[in-house]
């Protein structure tokens, strides 16, 4: 009997000989270094085989350490078709813990013969019990390279004798949902794709009732799916929401991924995507390649393009939640988290009109998500349309209880009931373009608003973004959530002097995390002035980062 137990335990341990052999012969490290960034590893797909294999192995160690299932998502989001990437998802569906990002980077970049000794060091340092079982949740997008990379990851997982649950083609938010629901034994939602669709669709329809159109709100949208994996998901929602929301899908997977379409393209180009019919004032939506970003927009009768981005979505949600909390008389702390890229018009509206506290953090969803956890209800969105809402368990419990409390007035109970229902529309694990779409549609319907009504809530300040080519991006360092430049010396002073010359001027710079460029953001009262401000700051960056001499290269982001 003891022998059988020992055998069972050994069957859960890593097969070090196989791991070493595979890394040396089948998955050797290429010449260049690759780093685990905000979105995990991301580069040309042909350079990622050894990364996928090694992360298959590391995910098993992480699973044993956390005594929970860990996710692996293979995707490159809004990147071109030839790129790909891979990231790990922690037990609650959140991003990988920051300290393990460095471990991932080190493990991928060490010499091939050092992989096994390094694994042993990690196991010893983190006191990982090898005899514990491990479960890995695997998902991938629709890129041509994704099946191959999934197979590489599976070889690493199998070499560690872990349990694999391969969900095949899924959106990134669906993978996060699956990890959270599996680790909560279904408390977060049924741990399946059908459970994901059912949870969000049912909550959306419960809030809407039998009404579709409402005032200026028409229950019809046209959606650009970026020719990505989100197209498959939105087709499922299209079926589930018949009679509640009419969705016309474009760039549905038959074209090139993210090419002249998708949320990132629309945000940067400030124009509709290709293949989308331009109809005056029709509510339009674009998601990105892996369906975690979303932007709204419309074209008016004069053929002028109007964008409602992540800042607009955040303010819409914040205003709606504040209204419901006032109606329900529930005392909960609501806060909104932004980055320096948030438009000053939105920050002013939230702070001075809505009286909701705003926190600014460095760029990257992991920073926003972490800060949002400090509020009872934390709302976070990047301007690019990536974001969600997080409820503390205590806040959810209070709302659910009030929704059923017959000792309070019907109006208070009804407001609490709406809050309770809207919680289930939200994928709290990560920014989810389709969940966010259903939330926005819920709010617009409740307010009886068209996009024109929504846009009129406040005025965005004109803004401009530039990229400046530099010799070494590390010459630029920042502080204060990337809003102030520390080095090179004197650059912040020149930025301040430039900003002071323009009404409502604001500008900041930050180095790219992957290439030797510096990103410049500028905004001010007038569109003509913002172009001048951006160029002035761009030239200052070039001169102080590279030395005065050659003509700076400034390009549109």
Q: Report the catalytic residues.
A: 77
Q: What is the DSSP string of 420-476?
A: HHHHTT--TTS--HHHHHHHHHHHHHHHT--HHHHHTTS-PPPEEEEEEE-S-GGG-
How far apart CA 328 and CA 130 sit, in angstroms, is: 50
145 with 152: CB under 8 angstroms?
Answer: no
HSE-CB of 544 using CA atoms within 13 angstroms: 23
Specify the 3-state DSSP secondary structure of 261: coil
Nearest C-alpha neighbor of 230 from the set 437, 92, 82: 437
284: part of which helix (H) or strand (E)? strand 284-287
Q: Where are the alpha helices (DSSP H) in 67-192?
A: 98-109, 115-125, 146-159, 172-183
For residue 386, give Cα distances in angstroms to 132, 286, 294, 369: 36, 12, 7, 11
Task: Name residue, tokens 């969940």.
Answer: 435
Region of 269 please: left (phi>0), alpha (psi -120 to 50) or beta.
alpha
3-state secondary structure of 15: coil
């Amino acid at each position: 009997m003891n022998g059988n137990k020992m055998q069972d335990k050994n069957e859960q341990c890593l097969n070090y000989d196989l791991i070493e052999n595979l890394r040396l012969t089948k998955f050797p490290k290429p010449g260049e270094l690759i780093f685990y960034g905000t979105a995990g590893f991301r580069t040309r797909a042909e350079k990622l085989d050894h990364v996928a294999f090694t992360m298959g192995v590391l995910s098993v160690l992480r699973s044993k350490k956390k005594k929970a299932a860990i996710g692996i998502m293979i995707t490159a989001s809004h990147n071109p078709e030839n790129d790909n990437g891979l990231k790990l998802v922690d037990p609650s569906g959140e991003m990988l813990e920051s300290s393990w990002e460095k471990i991932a980077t080190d493990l991928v970049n060490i010499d091939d013969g050092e992989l096994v000794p390094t694994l042993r060091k990690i196991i010893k340092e983190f006191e990982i019990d090898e005899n514990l079982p491990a479960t890995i949740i695997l998902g991938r997008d629709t890129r041509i390279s994704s099946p191959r990379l999934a197979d590489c990851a599976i070889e690493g997982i199998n070499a560690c004798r872990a349990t694999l649950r391969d969900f095949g083609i899924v959106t990134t938010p669906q993978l996060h949902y699956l990890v959270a629901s599996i680790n909560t034994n279904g408390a977060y939602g049924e741990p399946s794709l059908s459970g994901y669709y059912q949870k969000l669709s049912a909550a959306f329809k419960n809030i809407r009732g039998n009404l579709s159109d409402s005032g200026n709100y028409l229950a019809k949208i046209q959606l650009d799916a970026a020719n990505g994996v989100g197209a498959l998901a939105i087709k499922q929602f299209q079926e589930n929401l018949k009679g509640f929301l009419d969705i016309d899908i474009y760039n549905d997977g038959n074209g090139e991924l993210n090419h002249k379409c998708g949320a990132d393209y629309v945000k940067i180009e400030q124009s509709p995507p290709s293949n989308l019919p331009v109809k005056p004032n029709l509510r339009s939506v674009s998601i990105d390649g892996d369906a975690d970003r979303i932007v709204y927009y419309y074209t008016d009768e004069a053929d002028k393009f109007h964008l409602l981005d992540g800042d607009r979505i955040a303010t819409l949600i914040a205003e709606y939640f504040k209204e419901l909390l006032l109606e329900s008389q529930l005392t909960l702390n609501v806060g909104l988290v932004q980055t320096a890229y948030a438009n000053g018009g939105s920050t002013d509206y939230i702070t001075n009109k809505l009286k909701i506290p705003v926190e600014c953090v460095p760029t990257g969803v992991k920073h926003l998500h972490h800060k949002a956890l400090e509020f009872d209800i934390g709302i976070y969105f990047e301007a690019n349309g990536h974001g969600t809402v997080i409820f503390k368990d205590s806040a959810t419990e209070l709302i659910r209880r009030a929704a059923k409390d017959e000792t309070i007035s019907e109006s208070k109970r009804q407001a609490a009931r709406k809050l309770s229902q809207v919680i289930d529309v939200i994928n709290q694990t990560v920014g989810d373009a389709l969940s966010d779409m259903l939330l926005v549609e819920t709010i617009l319907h409740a307010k009886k608003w068209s996009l024109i009504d929504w846009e009129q809530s406040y005025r965005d300040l004109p803004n401009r973004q530039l990229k400046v080519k530099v010799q070494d991006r590390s010459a630029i360092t920042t502080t204060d959530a990337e809003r102030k430049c520390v080095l090179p010396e004197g650059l912040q002073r020149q930025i301040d002097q430039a900003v002071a010359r323009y009404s409502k001027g604001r500008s900041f710079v930050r180095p790219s995390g992957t290439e030797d460029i510096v990103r410049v953001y500028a905004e001010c009262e007038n569109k003509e002035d913002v172009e001048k401000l951006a160029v002035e700051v761009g030239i200052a960056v070039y001169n102080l980062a590279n030395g005065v001499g050659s003509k700076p290269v400034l390009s549109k982001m």
